[in-house]
Chains A and B, each alone.
Chain A
Amino acid sequence: MERGKEPTYRVVPGPEGLLPPAATVMGVALPEEGEGLVEGRIVSETEALEQAAIAMLTRKNATLFPGPLMLWGWNEHTNQKADAFFEMAKEIPGVRIIPMPDYRPIYPKIDPEAVINPCHPNLTIWHNKIEACVFIGVHCHYANITLKMVRAGTNCYTIALCAEAGHEDAMASVPNFDIDKIDRFRDALIRVKKNGVKPLYEGKGIVPTGWAQISKLPGEALSKPEGELVQAGATPGFSHELESGLDDTAE
């Protein structure tokens, strides 16, 4: 579709169904430097960062998903980027950090509190009831798959902070996301809070995830939020009463 022409298609939180169309075939174009994407429309970078900031501050269980390009200390630049990342994370009260360390298809079962996997990102999002998330440092071809799967099966607001061209399938995306832009995102978080956006989890720090595994981390006390605790006996094993005395030989 022609650039500058506003697409009728909106990239909004799902669930959109098993196979949502790729946003690009629905006419969503990638932003240029200085621009961003919000729900499929090209806006200024500042507006995109502010919309992303509002989503991360106000939606439930906002989570940062750092990918391999962010997590591993390839070089000094990566370490500097990591410092900026944590500075930004501190501005989102109650934010969780769940890593995507690599792209191995984790079988037989992932631990959705400790890790997100591009082959089934919806499991982590469902399990943790995440309604806003940031993907950063994920290689683009995996980010594309992941973003579509998340839009297909969850109600999560996805934000792709991409070091390359940005992602049409995210609800908000900013291209060429370097250290300066991480700082600008931090500034946007501070700004929208100053302008009156009240964070959903005001007063909280970074919430540890993968509970037992990262017990050394500072932040909240090492326990699940009360609402997520399941009391023994409170949950029935089956959703209905089991029938007994069925005759196996009955026709």
Chain B
Amino acid sequence: MSLKTIQAATGFKDYLPKEYQDLIDDGPFLQKRKVSELGSFKEALEEHPMCSGCAMTLFIRLCYVGFPSLEHTVLVGTAGCGRLAISQGAVPFVYGNYGDTNAVATGLKRGLEIRFKDQPKDVVVMAGDGGLADIGFHAVMHSWFRKEKFTTVMLDNEVYGNTGGQDSGMTQKGMVMKMAPTGKKFEKMDMLGLAKTAGVAYTARIAPTNPTRVANTIRKAVLIAREVGPTFIQAYTSCNIEYAIPTPKVMDDARAVEKDRYSFEEYFSDEAKAYWDESEKERKRLRKAKK
């Protein structure tokens, strides 16, 4: 496989639309971009059809910055708000059926490992709480039990956002939604607890209040998945439409929810911790050597 896929063939560059020319000249590929550089380079995701003020879109944008090697990443998603943005990104995206994202990702990861023996390819499932905790639950759990080496990112907006506001397993107990007028009947599912029980190597709970932390967390999860085993990130990405959060208040809500019940929390298995500490040491050593 050649990375020349992000170079135009002879003579064609001038015929490409401006946004593709920018991706070639000043895109996020083949180099590490930082959150602080946002706005100074062509992002993998810019135009999208998401609602104004959507926290999920911000989170996804930050993930694109955090992926350790964007040019070697394949995303898998399913029906839900998130895929409307993810499918617009300049990164290969596989649209799994509802319920089978983690099964698709399993096949993809194993296939890529056989096809590209010398080049790690990162597979990341990025789907909503409905797609992962409800309809895709069995595939998610079994991919974890099998210790499949890819990252699962749950865009947890605590509701079925684009089908009119049904409660999901991740909705808070008692929450009254448009399509759940008598309130959610049972507790929010403890996906992080289930992940730990299933033997996931690294889990994180996060809200998009700190952009650098989001990028670092996704990077950590992808790198650990590459070397150790399955990783899981549960991200609070509010639905400002179904939860009637005024657009300018979306980040206020994220901060309030983070303070109340969605604080940043991460868990490493022993093996993941040992790998991460060792690779951190190595990175520090390399940084020092550069200086």
> Per DSSP, are chain B's interface residues mostly helix, strand or loop, or mixed?
loop
**Residue ID in chain B nearest A114 by CB atoms:** B17
Contact assessment for B4 and A101 in the assembled complex, using a CB-CB cutoff below 8 Å: no
Chain B contacts of A210 at CB under 8 A?
Answer: 15, 17
Partner of A71, one of B2, B12, B84: B12
Q: Name A214's contact: one of B5, B14, B49 (CB within 8 Å).
A: B14
Q: Please give, as numbers and ranges, the residues of chain B lying within 8 Å of A71 by CB-CB distance.
A: 8-9, 12, 15-16
Contact with A along B83-102 (1 / 0, CB 8 A): 01001111000000000000
Q: Is B7 an interface residue (CB 8 A)?
A: yes
Partner of B8, one of A73, A97, A102, A209: A73
Given A107-B88, A111-B17, A114-B17, decide whether A83 and B4 contact each other with a Cβ distance below 8 A.
no
User: Contacts of A213 on B, CB cut-off 8 Å?
Assistant: 17-18
A140 → B minimal CB distance (Å): 18
Stretch among A8-16, A46-54, A74-82 lining the B interface: A74-82
Our count of residue pairs bridging A and B at CB distance below 8 angstroms stands at: 76
Pick from B8, B49, B89: contact of A72, CB below 8 A.
B8
Which chain B positions have C-beta within 8 A of A73?
4, 7-10
Q: A1 near B: Cβ within 8 Å?
A: no
Query: Is B20 an interface residue, CB under 8 A from the partner?
Result: yes
Q: Which of A66, A99, A209 has the most CB of B within 10 A?
A: A99
Secondary structure at the A interface, as helix, strand, loop or mixed, is: loop
Q: Within 8 Å CB of B89, what residues of A? A: 104
* A104–B90 CA distance with the chains assembled, in angstroms: 8
Q: Binary interface profile of A, 97-126, with partner B (CB < 8 Å = 1, else 0)?
A: 111011011111001001100000000000
Q: CB-CB < 8 A to A79: which residues of B?
A: 9-10
How distant is the Cα of A86 from the Cα of B10 in the complex, in angstroms? 10
- B48 part of interface (Cβ distance < 8 Å): yes
Min CB–CB distance B228 → chain A (angstroms): 32
B10 and A107 form a contact (CB under 8 A): no
Residue of B at shortest CB range from A209? B15
Question: Is A156 interfacial (CB-CB < 8 Å)?
Answer: no
Contact B4 A99 (CB under 8 A): no
Of listed A73, A74, A78, A209, residue having the most chain B CB within 10 A:
A73
- Count residues on chain A whose CB falls below 8 Å from chain B CBs: 33
Known contacts being A86-B11, A101-B16, A210-B17, is A75 close to B48, with CB within 8 Å? no
The listed residue (A66, A72, A216) touching B5 by CB distance below 8 A is: A72
A75: B residues at CB distance < 8 A: 2, 4
CB within 8 A of B4: which of A66, A74, A85, A114?
A: A74
Q: In the assembly, what is the distance between CA of A155 and CA of B49, in Å?
A: 31
C-alpha spacing A108/B50, complex, angstroms:
9
Report if B47 contacts A (CB, 8 A): yes
Q: Which single residue of chain B is at the shortest CB-CB distance from A69?
A: B9
| Contact flag A107-B16 (CB < 8 Å), given A72-B4, A72-B5, A75-B2 | no
Give the nearest-CB partner of B6 in chain A: A72
Say how far B142's CB is from chain A's closest CB, in angstroms: 29
Q: A70 contacts the other chain (Cβ, under 8 Å)?
A: yes
Nearest chain A CB to B84 CB, angstrom units: 7
Taking a contact as CB atoms closer than 8 A, the residue among B2, B15, B49 that contacts A99 in the complex is B15
Bound Cα distance from A185 to B9, whole angstroms: 20
* B7 with A99: CB separation less than 8 A: no
Smallest distance from the beta carbon of B21 to chain A beta carbons, Å? 8
Per-residue interface assignment for chain B, residues 36 to 67, with 1 indicating a CB less than 8 Å from any chain A CB and 0 otherwise: 00000000000111000000000000000000
In this assembly, does A217 line the interface, its C-beta being within 8 Å of a C-beta of chain B?
Answer: yes
Give Cα A98 to B20, complex, Å. Answer: 13
In the complex, the answer to whether B2 meets A82 with C-beta atoms within 8 Å is no
Known: A97-B15, A214-B15. A72 touches B84 (CB 8 A): no
Interchain Cβ contacts under 8 Å between A and B, 20 examples: A66-B15, A70-B12, A71-B9, A72-B4, A72-B8, A73-B8, A73-B10, A74-B2, A74-B4, A74-B9, A82-B10, A82-B12, A99-B16, A101-B17, A104-B87, A104-B88, A107-B88, A114-B17, A114-B18, A210-B17
Which B residues lie at the A interface, using CB under 8 A?
2, 4-12, 14-18, 20, 47-49, 84, 87-90
